[in-house]
Amino acid sequence: MNAENLIALLIAAPLLGAAVLLVGGRRLDAAGHWIGTILSTTSFVFGVILFADLLGRNADDRTLMQHLYTWVPVAGFQADVTFRLDQLSMTFVLLITGVGSLIHLYSVGYMEHDERRRRFFGYLNLFLAAMLLLVLADNYLLLYVGWEGVGLASYLLIGFWQHKPSAATAAKKAFLVNRVGDMGLSIAIMLMFTTFGTFAFGPVLSHVTDASEGRLTAIGLLLLLAACGKSAQVPLQSWLGDAMEGPTPVSALIHAATMVTAGVYLIVRSGAIFNAAPDAQLVVTVVGAVTLLFGAIVGCAKDDIKKALAGSTMSQIGYMVLAAGLGPIGYVFAIMHLVTHGFFKAGLFLGAGSVMHGMNDEVDMRKFGGLRKYMPVTFITFGLGYLAIIGFPGLSGFFSKDKIIEAAFAKGGTEGWILGTCALVGAAITAFYMTRVMLMTFFGEKRWQPDEHGHEPHPHESPKVMTIPMIVLAIGSVFAGGFFSIGDRFLHWLEPITGHSEGDSPISAGVVTGATMVCLVIGVGIAYLQYGRRPVPAVAPRGSLLTRAARRDLLQDDFNHVVLVRGGEHLTRSLVYVDHTLVDGVVNGTAAGFGGLSGRLRKLQNGYARSYAVSMFGGAALLVAATLLMRAV
């Protein structure tokens, strides 16, 4: 059997799981979570087999294609269901199914007491299938199916506890904000179609140079809009914080490790387009730089552990987007950071979930404190993830983030200096807010109180089914970066697809690393002085203007509320009024002018069928008369 025939099975396994679990009904309640976990793992196993197959081939011969069928055949327009497995999609497949399977396992424990656990696993499997479709599609329209498919899974999972109005609202918001981005993808595909007559990767990306730069810039910016929605980049970032309403495994898998990185995938996959559209690239780097600072600042101010991590996710994806905007200097490192981030951020979220599991679902870090004594495994795995994300030397984040900062400087010119500085400042803020999370949660005095029913939380370590995935992810957080960097393994693996160039850095790599370390020390130091040396107040202090703004996501929600929500409500309400009075009135009135119809409309009773029949008869008589007349002439 040829390896390429396995590609569809990667998607089929979790899709089958979703179908069985969602249609199967209550009789599957007892085993549903294991069915979901096994099918997710099955997909991972297929992924490993395919990976081994790719490794056995030459570096320039690692693209497998599987054509299933013609999906939409219309004159001049053809969309196929064809899958492409190359180094880039392979990387994602392993990340998605690997981290995905671990999180399935974790959820077995985390969702144990939820009566709708089977459905939860159905949605998780649905997510995996859609995400795999997204990265395996060989054309933009099929990618779009996966793109909105993960949006649907995200919607269902954020709103999983939909009896909570806040969860239902957050789910809807996520879908809507993403739809704005999807509009960008939609129009980008149309523009590709009018430009190239197709939207399949192969022909589009190989003919980029034949198209005008204006068109390519437009396509690039539209793709960026799509990426901003999915990857929570400014200005479409507002949904991610609210998405933390979903169960924590969802936050780990979808809103940290995989789905939110789809925007980075889209940009890197479309690299040929961006390479030929420098203006679009510049905007990509700006969006990345702004978001990495934006997310980091928000992350500093949040007391909700998951929202602090969400701010961090936004910021780290900002790094990836920045790297992707740098072109061939940055593509490989964008993806490398994406993978290492997948490990440590998923680990951090699972750790946060473990803390919540032991603390009666409390999320306010001001009510934690000193938890390291009660949950040693969670503490150690979370701690390793923490060291990885701040870029502690030798751990995963150190390698991947450092490379991005170097690449930013290597862009050269004023831009390079500005972007590189933003990335450095971001590193300092990252060290600050993550140290803050660490100190507030695991160090200091215990700050929890009995709830209104007098129940005091009894923090305890989570069961093995939850800690094992955390341990595996912690191992990845420690070693992945180093493993990828030894002998530039990751670079050589991905280079044939993304291309690579060294750029022209005004400062040496050693200086960049040194500066990064200084930033790290500053960030950790300030956080220690503020949260380590002094006791953490149980109630948040008022804070500076910036802190207060950051707590409210830098006022973007307020803006959205006033301009879009309120404005929209006024618009629709006035339109309802206009439709009822004006449009209806004018049309009825015009009709009245012709035939006295409004009088009839008011009478409303009886005789209408008769009058109708009379008009019909009248019409027919008219017709006969006209015909006779014509024949006479």
Sign of CA dihedral 363, 367, 368, 374: negative
**Closer CB to other proteins, 176 or 486, in the complex:** 176
Residues 6+ apart with CB under 8 A from 30: none
Q: Which of 575, 589, 593, 617 binds other proteins (CB under 8 A)?
A: 575
Binding mask 21-60 for other proteins (x = CB under 8 A): -x--------------------------------------
Q: Which stretch binds other proteins (CB under 8 A): 58-66, 409-417, 467-475, 583-591?
A: 583-591
Taking the CB of residue 63, how many other CB atoms lie within 10 A of it? 19
Distance, in Å, from the CA atom of 539 to the CA atom of 526, rounded to the nearest integer, reads 20
Taking the CB of residue 161, how many other CB atoms lie within 10 A of it? 16
Burial of 75 (0-12, 13-18, 19+ CB in 10 A): exposed
Please report how many Cα atoms fall inside a 13 Å half-sphere around the Cα of residue 351, on the Cβ side: 31
Q: Which stretch binds other proteins (CB under 8 A): 178-186, 282-290, 358-366, 495-503?
A: 178-186
Q: Which of 1, 60, 61, 69 binds other proteins (CB under 8 A)?
A: 69
**Closer CB to other proteins, 174 or 253, in the complex:** 174
Distance, in Å, from the CA atom of 519 to the CA atom of 425, rounded to the nearest integer, reads 7
Burial of 9 (0-12, 13-18, 19+ CB in 10 A): middle
Q: Which of 29, 169, 491, 507 binds other proteins (CB under 8 A)?
A: 169
**Closer CB to other proteins, 159 or 325, in the complex:** 159
DSSP annotation of 532 reads I
Q: Is 609 in the site for other proteins (CB under 8 A)?
A: yes
Binding mask 475-514 for other proteins (x = CB under 8 A): ----------------------------------------
Least distance CB 3 / other proteins (angstroms)? 25
- Reported for 280-283, long-range contacts at CB under 8 A and 24+ positions apart, including other chains, are 280/216, 280/217, 280/219, 280/220, 280/221, 280/224, 281/220, 281/325, 281/326, 281/327, 282/325, 282/415, 283/220, 283/221, 283/224, 283/325
Q: Which of 85, 211, 466, 527 binds other proteins (CB under 8 A)?
A: 211
**Closer CB to other proteins, 148 or 402, in the complex:** 148
Distance, in Å, from the CA atom of 264 to the CA atom of 134, rounded to the nearest integer, reads 12
Distance, in Å, from the CA atom of 137 to the CA atom of 252, rounded to the nearest integer, reads 24
Least distance CB 632 / other proteins (angstroms)? 12
Q: Which stretch binds other proteins (CB under 8 A): 191-199, 405-413, 457-465, 475-483?
A: 191-199
Site for other proteins in 123-162 (CB under 8 A): 141, 144-145, 147-149, 152, 155, 159, 162
Q: Which of 140, 175, 201, 399 binds other proteins (CB under 8 A)?
A: 175
DSSP 389-405: HHT-TTSHHHHHHHHHH
**Closer CB to other proteins, 120 or 392, in the complex:** 120
Q: Which stretch binds other proteins (CB under 8 A): 335-343, 387-395, 400-408, 595-603?
A: 595-603
Q: Is 409 in the site for other proteins (CB under 8 A)?
A: no
With CA atoms as reference, report the closest residue to 432 among 345, 302, 617, 247. 302
Q: Which of 44, 106, 123, 196 binds other proteins (CB under 8 A)?
A: 196
Site for other proteins in 289-308 (CB under 8 A): none
Instruction: Give me 279's structure tokens.
Output: 């203006």
With CA atoms as reference, report the closest residue to 382 among 292, 259, 467, 260. 467
Name residue 338's amino acid.
Answer: L
Site for other proteins in 84-103 (CB under 8 A): none
Q: Is 586 in the site for other proteins (CB under 8 A)?
A: yes
Q: Is 632 in the site for other proteins (CB under 8 A)?
A: no
Residue written as tokens 């978001």?
291
**Closer CB to other proteins, 458 or 573, in the complex:** 573
Q: Which stretch binds other proteins (CB under 8 A): 176-184, 312-320, 338-346, 494-502?
A: 176-184
**Closer CB to other proteins, 245 or 402, in the complex:** 245
Least distance CB 598 / other proteins (angstroms)? 9
Q: Is 189 in the site for other proteins (CB under 8 A)?
A: yes
Residue count at the site for other proteins (CB under 8 A)?
87
**Closer CB to other proteins, 172 or 366, in the complex:** 172
| H helix or E strand, kind and range, residue 34 | helix 32-55
**Closer CB to other proteins, 22 or 35, in the complex:** 22
DSSP annotation of 30 reads T
With CA atoms as reference, report the closest residue to 167 among 254, 244, 281, 225. 244
Q: Which of 454, 594, 610, 632 binds other proteins (CB under 8 A)?
A: 594
Site for other proteins in 213-242 (CB under 8 A): 215
Q: Which of 66, 107, 125, 198 binds other proteins (CB under 8 A)?
A: 198
Site for other proteins in 424-453 (CB under 8 A): none
Q: How far is CA 628 from the centre of its chain?
A: 71
Q: Which stretch binds other proteins (CB under 8 A): 248-256, 360-368, 491-499, 592-600?
A: 592-600
Which value, in Å, is the radius of gyration of the alpha carbons in the chain?
Answer: 28
